[in-house]
Chain A
Amino acid sequence: MPRWLAYTLVLALLAAGGAWAFASLDMNWNWGLVWEYRAAFVRGWWMTVALSLASLLTSSLFGIIAAVMLRSRFTFAQAVARVYVELIRGTPLLVQLLIGWYVIAAALRVGSDQRYLVGVLVLSLFSGAYMAEIFRGGLDAIPRTQLDSARAIGLTPWQTLRLVVLPQAVRIVLPAVAGQLVSLVKDSSLLSVISIAEFTFNARNVNSATYSTLESYLPLAVGYLALTLPLSALSRWLERRFRYEAA
């Protein structure tokens, strides 16, 4: 079966199932009222984009630092990074956000105008723990023999990192990093619990104002898909693009 036919068939089946489910609900759609709030959706969507991108940058930084510490010769650095990664990956983001905002930020007397900053920071710490394992995999994929070769031709450690390790590690981790961005986009919806006006938060407000639950949340699903589908495609493309045999 050709690929396009397979996809068309799956999507058609999905649409038919959806149509049947909604028909049996006997819905009174109220799109007109929700349309009045379209600006809130757009604002929230862009906020989600901005928060995800900011968190991607910061979490890459956290991830690289943690990955280097995980591979470090120093047991203490290793322990710090390991505890960070396991604690973060072993607990729900929701709990981390609530503790980060209502306990830690409150204890530090962080003003409520700083909630976006705190939100991005907690989300980045969360995502950074996953990034750490991604980057560690990338660094581990460079065999020791290449580091020997680099030393043998007289490269400095910094040149070795810049010319040998990073160009290869980046190609190796890019697909996974793009995949992590997909997760970030969805995970950022939890920032609504600390009243950050991103996409989900705004959709929820529209729902409370209009009592039109599905009309408020269906656009939400579409808006997230509009971000995540291209990113998944990008991740798969990068994977194909940079796949080559090690020599």
Chain B
Amino acid sequence: MNLAINGLVQRFTDPDGRRPPATVLDGLNLTTGDIQALVLVGPSGGGKSTLLRILAGLDVSTSGTVAFDGVPLPRDEKALQGYRRTVATVFQAYNLFPHLTAMQNLLLPLVHVHGLTEPEALERVREPLERFGLTAHAYKRPAELSGGQKQRIAILRALVVQPSRLFLDEPTSALDPEMTGEVLEMIGELKALGTQFVLVTHEMGFARKVADEIAFIVDGSVGAHAPAADFLDRCTDPRIRLFLDRTLHA
């Protein structure tokens, strides 16, 4: 994917008018090469989630443009709904619907959004469930799954609709360390499978492994942007070095 972001502004106005409007993205620019995986890093509150929500078609920016492979993102809700059906998003937590089993969670978008029959949908999820070692958990409710299993089912649900791109917002930050590994491993396999994705993460070691390019988002704009190895090893910006040292030794 070639991602081109130009002058992206996101300003939130308080509906009650008690607080002044907050400019969360402040004219952000970013142009990537033709890459498979983009990783966004940066300090908390810098605007990574806000940016990812716009890329995923969940929010509309105040102004500015975003284009994937030269195709600009629409701005009206109807067209955005269509766009969301071609991509997939995984949040930090609470992705699954608690009243449905893991299997029903997987089938829901296939049947109700993508028009598969139930047998077709079952056939579609059978092999991926097996490959990621989740078959034994398919008929459990989210409450009966561990945090890691829930996130893996959520990633699987995103995957089986065969999206053109995946957006992942800190998919491991709500997990215990021992479960982080299994989720990262799964994302690593996505990379091997050729899936295109944009990932927000604080796992620098993992970013080095999967990222083609890394963008450092701070104070609502891009503080630095480079191929993964350059960014991690040769970056001299003291702000970023400080951030990297902190995250690597956390």
B157 within 8 A of A: yes
Contact with B along A141-157 (1 / 0, CB 8 A): 00101101111111110
> A154 vs B109: C-alpha distance in the bound complex, in angstroms?
7
User: Smallest distance from the beta carbon of A79 to chain B beta carbons, Å?
Assistant: 16
> A247 vs B95: C-alpha distance in the bound complex, in angstroms?
9
Would A146 and B97 be within 8 Å (CB), given that A163-B108, A244-B143, A247-B150 are in contact?
yes
Residues B143 and A247 in contact, CB atoms below 8 Å apart: yes
User: Smallest distance from the beta carbon of A245 to chain B beta carbons, Å?
Assistant: 4
B6 within 8 A of A: no
User: Smallest distance from the beta carbon of B130 to chain A beta carbons, Å?
Assistant: 22
Would A163 and B112 be within 8 Å (CB), given that A151-B58, A247-B145 are in contact?
yes
**Number of interface residues, chain B, beta carbon within 8 A:** 28
Residues B112 and A145 in contact, CB atoms below 8 Å apart: no
Which chain B positions have C-beta within 8 A of A146? 94, 97-98
Q: Report the nearest B residue to A145, measured CB to CB.
A: B94
A204 within 8 A of B: no
Which chain B positions have C-beta within 8 A of A164? 97
A159 within 8 A of B: yes
Q: Report the nearest A residue to B167, measured CB to CB.
A: A152
Residues A145 and B81 in contact, CB atoms below 8 Å apart: no
Would A167 and B91 be within 8 Å (CB), given that A153-B108, A153-B109, A154-B85 are in contact?
no
A246 within 8 A of B: yes
| B141: contacting residue among A148, A155, A244, CB under 8 A | A244
Which chain A positions have C-beta within 8 A of B142? 247
Residues A152 and B98 in contact, CB atoms below 8 Å apart: no
> A154 vs B85: C-alpha distance in the bound complex, in angstroms?
5
User: Smallest distance from the beta carbon of A154 to chain B beta carbons, Å?
Assistant: 4
Which chain B positions have C-beta within 8 A of A171? 99
Q: Which B residues from 84 to 137 make CB contacts under 8 A with A? A: 84-85, 88-89, 91, 93-99, 108-109, 112-113
Q: Is the interface of B mostly helix, strand, loop or mixed?
A: loop
> A164 vs B95: C-alpha distance in the bound complex, in angstroms?
12
Would A153 and B141 be within 8 Å (CB), given that A148-B91, A168-B99 are in contact?
no
Q: Which A residues from 125 to 182 make CB contacts under 8 A with B? A: 143, 145-146, 148-156, 159, 163-164, 167-168, 171
| B58: contacting residue among A143, A148, A247, CB under 8 A | A148
> A150 vs B58: C-alpha distance in the bound complex, in angstroms?
11
Q: Report the nearest A residue to B140, measured CB to CB.
A: A247
Which chain A positions have C-beta within 8 A of B240? none
Q: Report the nearest B residue to A172, measured CB to CB.
A: B99
| A153: contacting residue among B88, B94, B98, B143, CB under 8 A | B88
Known: A152-B58, A159-B113. 14 other contacts (CB 8 A): A146-B98, A149-B91, A149-B96, A149-B97, A152-B84, A154-B85, A154-B109, A154-B161, A164-B97, A168-B99, A245-B98, A246-B143, A247-B96, A247-B141
Binding site for B on A (CB under 8 A): 73, 143, 145-146, 148-156, 159, 163-164, 167-168, 171, 244-247
Q: Sort A-B residue pairs by CB-CB distance and give the 6 closest, nearest first.
A: A247-B142, A154-B85, A247-B98, A152-B89, A145-B94, A245-B143
- Can you give 28 contacting A-B residue pairs, CB < 8 Å? A143-B94, A145-B91, A145-B93, A145-B94, A146-B94, A146-B98, A148-B58, A149-B94, A149-B95, A149-B96, A149-B97, A151-B58, A151-B84, A152-B56, A152-B58, A152-B88, A152-B91, A154-B85, A154-B113, A159-B113, A163-B108, A167-B99, A168-B99, A244-B98, A246-B98, A247-B94, A247-B143, A247-B150
